[in-house]
């Protein structure tokens, strides 16, 4: 992953820039966010192909994690660009559930390995992995139950705060005769948990600032707000297709026909 750290950092910076551009009601902000999602998917795919060539050193968990993250990133890009197809929400759920199982397995393995050497360190690593698990859980259930997703995100945030506080209070842990930090131990797994935690922190910060009115919400001027409400109903299963199509698809078609009439030469 070290070879891609600078690119991940660049995409994270672009993510923040795109969000602020969108909040400032600039139409290109959403396009930047979509490009960032595609960028993440491309990097995950590159790492997956690289891991496939190193069968001895790259484990099954790493490859499965990359597959899940690639799928999730692509689906985020499709959502940003308002591209919808049947069962897209269930593909998202399956990829997220698979990612949760990956981190549950990794948490179990790391706890068993570290607990006999340093129980306090194993607890810290376990808290970190639990934070990732609840964060992903909140993402996959938000289309179905907003309340439970909020609870999952809240638990993830509390776990993150606990991890950060204890990391600051006790920065060094003894492991195999060496002083290490929990983040150093987590980084040795060569997974994307630290990246996910960074993105979760940004999402939590954004939700907190928008809910208190300090920052405006992300803005898209491509379609009216009613269109996005119809898309949400289709994604959450509250609306069933009629003759193979959803209401938002008909709405989009009529809206585009309407706007084309106002363009000279059309």
d(CA 234, CA 165): 41
pTM above 0.85, yes or no: no
- Residues 6+ positions from 41 with CB-CB distance below 8 Å: 70, 73, 74, 77
* pLDDT at residue 261 in the model: 46
**Chain centre to alpha carbon of residue 138:** 10
* pLDDT at residue 196 in the model: 87
* pLDDT at residue 188 in the model: 83
Ranges of the chain with pLDDT below 50: 56-57, 222-224, 255, 258-259, 261-266
* pLDDT at residue 262 in the model: 47
Phi, psi of 40 (to 5 degrees): -60, -45
Residues of 44-65 as b/e, b for ≥16 C-beta within 10 angstroms? Answer: bbebbeebeeeeeebeebbbbb
* pLDDT at residue 108 in the model: 92
SS percent in the chain: helix, strand, coil, step 5: 75, 5, 25
**Chain centre to alpha carbon of residue 114:** 28
Beta 178-180 vs 173-175: how paired, if at all?
A: antiparallel
Per-residue pLDDT tens over the stretch 170-226: 878 888 778 888 888 888 887 888 888 888 888 777 766 666 666 566 555 544 455
* pLDDT at residue 94 in the model: 95
Residues, the chain: 266
* pLDDT at residue 105 in the model: 92
* pLDDT at residue 263 in the model: 45
* pLDDT at residue 265 in the model: 47
* pLDDT at residue 266 in the model: 44
* pLDDT at residue 264 in the model: 44
Give the single-character DSSP code of 84: -
* pLDDT at residue 65 in the model: 92
Give the single-character DSSP code of 178: E
Q: Quick check: helix, strand or coil at residue 65?
A: helix
């Amino acid at each position: 992953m070290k070879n891609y750290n600078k690119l991940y950092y660049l995409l994270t910076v672009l993510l923040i820039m795109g969000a602020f551009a969108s909040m400032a009601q600039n139409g290109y902000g959403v396009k930047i966010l979509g490009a960032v999602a595609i960028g993440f998917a491309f990097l995950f795919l590159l790492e997956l192909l690289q891991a496939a060539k190193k069968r001895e050193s790259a484990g099954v968990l790493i490859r499965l994690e990359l597959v899940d993250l690639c799928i999730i990133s692509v689906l985020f890009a499709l959502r940003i660009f308002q591209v919808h197809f049947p069962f897209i929400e269930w593909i998202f759920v399956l990829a997220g559930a698979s990612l949760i199982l990956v981190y549950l397995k990794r948490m179990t393995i790391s706890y068993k390995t570290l607990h006999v050497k340093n129980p306090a360190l194993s607890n810290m690593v376990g808290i970190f992995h639990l934070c990732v698990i609840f964060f992903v859980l909140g993402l996959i259930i938000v289309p179905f139950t907003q309340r439970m997703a909020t609870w999952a995100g809240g638990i993830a945030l509390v776990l993150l705060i606990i991890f950060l506080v204890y990391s600051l209070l006790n920065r060094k842990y003894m492991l195999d005769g060496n002083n290490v930090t929990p983040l150093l131990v987590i980084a040795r797994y060569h997974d994307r948990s630290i990246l996910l935690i960074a993105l979760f922190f940004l999402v939590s910060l954004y939700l907190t600032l928008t809910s208190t009115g300090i920052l405006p919400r992300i803005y898209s001027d491509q379609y009216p707000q009613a269109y996005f409400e119809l898309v949400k109903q289709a994604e959450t299963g509250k609306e069933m297709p009629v003759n193979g199509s959803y209401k938002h698809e008909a709405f989009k078609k009529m809206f585009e026909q309407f706007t084309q009439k106002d363009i000279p030469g059309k």
